[in-house]
A and B are shown apart, each in its own frame.
Chain A
Amino acid sequence: MRKRANPIIVCRCEDVTLDEVEKILEKGYRDLESIKRLLRVGMGPCQGRTCIPLLIRLLARRLKKDPEELLIPPSRPPLTPIPIRLFVEDEKRAED
């Protein structure tokens, strides 16, 4: 496998490079749900806002597949990180 002199970052939260994604493809994995859990792409604070659309495009083109076949990870709440104190009644009132 060729290794780029200047790594191309796919996922900024978890510091995942395109080389790492390509290595996983070589192992035979063909879906985003598995790539997510093998490399942690999309599991950081931005929850995949940048990396998942990038990977959908990359994989759809390279594997000649429809995006649905790539098993796109669902968006999970709360979508953006929220402090736990906002879920404690008396503290929430104090902040309000």
Chain B
Amino acid sequence: MLKTDVVIIGGGISGISTAFWLIKRGIKNVVVVEKAYIGSGSTFKCATGIRASFTSEEHVVLMRESINLWKALSQELGFSYMRGGYVWLLSNEDQLKAFRELSRIHNSFGVPTRIISVEDVEKLVSKIDTRSILCALYDPLAGKADPFEALYSMAGFLRSAGVRILQQVEATRILQNGPQVVGVETTKGIIQGPIVVVAAGYETRGLVKTVDVDLPLKNVPHHAVITEAYKRAFDPLLVDAASGSYLVQTFHGGFIMGTEIEEREEAQPTPRVDFLYKVASVWIKYLPWLRNVNFLRYWVGYYVMSPDNHPIIGPLPEIDGLYVAAGFSGHGFMMGPIVGKILAEWIIDGKPSIPQAARLSYKRIEEGKLIHEKAVIG
């Protein structure tokens, strides 16, 4: 039987980042349990974008802090990260009015978004056809990171610090002794530990059900497609505000695209040709040269939705030593660095140093004090 101080279930960005911050804070014995391979859930299926241009104070402030950590981490660990910005393309007066108001909120929390002209868009995005837009919201603090490099470099750091990352080992049950967590049952035996962190995407729900907590999470499929690699065309991630579509060029050179299509929760992640038609028509309008670019690979991931589109991060009441990070509603990768720091603070200090982070614990769900986020795209 394995004994440790902290067991983390889930080898995605949230779990790996939590282990990273625990080590940085001096906790020595940490074990990460991953049912397949690290990154195999949402982390490696994400669209790579990182932004603070959200609609709630909690999201804007925490993403801003996460962006600071992204820069520091990329320098420390040497992975690809860039503040290439987000350009939200706006096509009518109503959108302009709404985004002007949003920009005011961003600015009040230190995120310097601003409305830019069509000419400014053309300077940022070479060869864009701007005939259908009025102007755009520019978020210069936003950017992108390579999820493979980011996670593998963090995992490499953890291994050299003595953290055991168990892959192809599935956690099946959380073990408690009265009100105290005592470990995790896995497919390869029991791991004992007084602190357990569950950061397992939608499967967080099933795992905490084994200690009678029902997290209100929903798994909703989202679609993405990448093209063959081309040399660098432009840096910002583009969002078409009207259709909720995005396009971003990865560091390797492929363009990742996504758009909103109607999906049922819990649906099987099935590729749909109507997705390709929709995403192609949106982006060819702006970037006519895409006509001759090839679609290379299409995948489906999940947004694990919470009732208010904000994650549930922190302790679960009534069970000492049990913490969760789940329900990121499509924003888990970008938030990863700050989530690990917040959880390490909950575990070591008893509360997070950022007040907005404390508001995202499970308590808000129990008390019905939901905080709504409207800017979910793709």
Query: Residues of A at under 8 Å CB distance from B?
Result: 27-28, 30-31, 33-34, 37-38, 40, 43, 45, 47, 69, 71, 76-78, 81-85, 87-89, 91
Contacts and interface: CB of A to CB of B under 8 A. Distances in A.
Nearest to B283: A84
B279 to A, nearest CB: 8
B44 interface: yes
Contact of B295 (A69, A82, A89): A82
Contacts of A37: 39, 44, 148, 152
Contacts, number: 76
Contacts of A30: 167
Contacts of B36: 33, 71
Contact of A84 (B152, B271, B284): B284
B102 interface: no
A33 to B, nearest CB: 5
A84 B297 contact: no
Contacts of B271: 76-77
Nearest to B288: A85
Contacts of A43: 297
A88 B296 contact: no
A81 B294 contact: yes
B227 interface: yes
Nearest to B40: A33
Contacts of B168: 31, 69, 71
Given A31-B168, A83-B293, A88-B281, A76 B299 contact: yes
29 contacts: A27-B156, A30-B167, A33-B37, A37-B44, A38-B148, A38-B152, A45-B228, A45-B294, A47-B297, A69-B168, A71-B36, A76-B297, A83-B291, A83-B292, A83-B293, A84-B280, A84-B290, A84-B294, A84-B295, A85-B280, A85-B284, A85-B291, A87-B277, A87-B280, A87-B281, A87-B295, A88-B277, A88-B291, A89-B277
Given A34-B38, A81-B228, A28 B159 contact: yes
Contacts of A78: 295, 298
Contacts of A89: 277, 281
A87 B276 contact: yes
B252 interface: yes
A88 B228 CA distance: 18
Contacts of A83: 291-295
Interface of B: 36-40, 44, 148, 152, 156, 159, 167-168, 227-228, 252, 271, 276-277, 279-281, 283-284, 290-299
Could you say which of B36, B39, B271, B294 has the most chain A C-beta atoms within 10 Å of its C-beta? B294
A30 B38 CA distance: 12
A28 B166 CA distance: 11
B84 to A, nearest CB: 21
B37 A31 contact: yes
Contacts of A82: 294-295
A78 B293 CA distance: 14
Contacts of A47: 296-297
B298 A77 contact: yes
Contacts of B38: 34
A84 B40 contact: no
Q: Which 9 A-B pairs have the closest CB atoms?
A: A81-B294, A87-B280, A85-B291, A37-B148, A87-B276, A33-B37, A77-B298, A76-B297, A77-B271
B296 A81 contact: yes
B291 A84 contact: yes
A50 B293 CA distance: 23
Contacts of A88: 277, 280-281, 284, 291
Nearest to B152: A38
A82 B226 CA distance: 11
A76 B294 contact: no
A84 B282 CA distance: 11
Contact of B296 (A34, A38, A45): A45
Given A82-B294, A84-B283, 17 more contacts: A31-B168, A33-B40, A37-B148, A38-B148, A45-B294, A47-B297, A77-B271, A81-B228, A84-B227, A84-B284, A85-B280, A85-B284, A87-B276, A87-B279, A88-B280, A89-B281, A91-B291
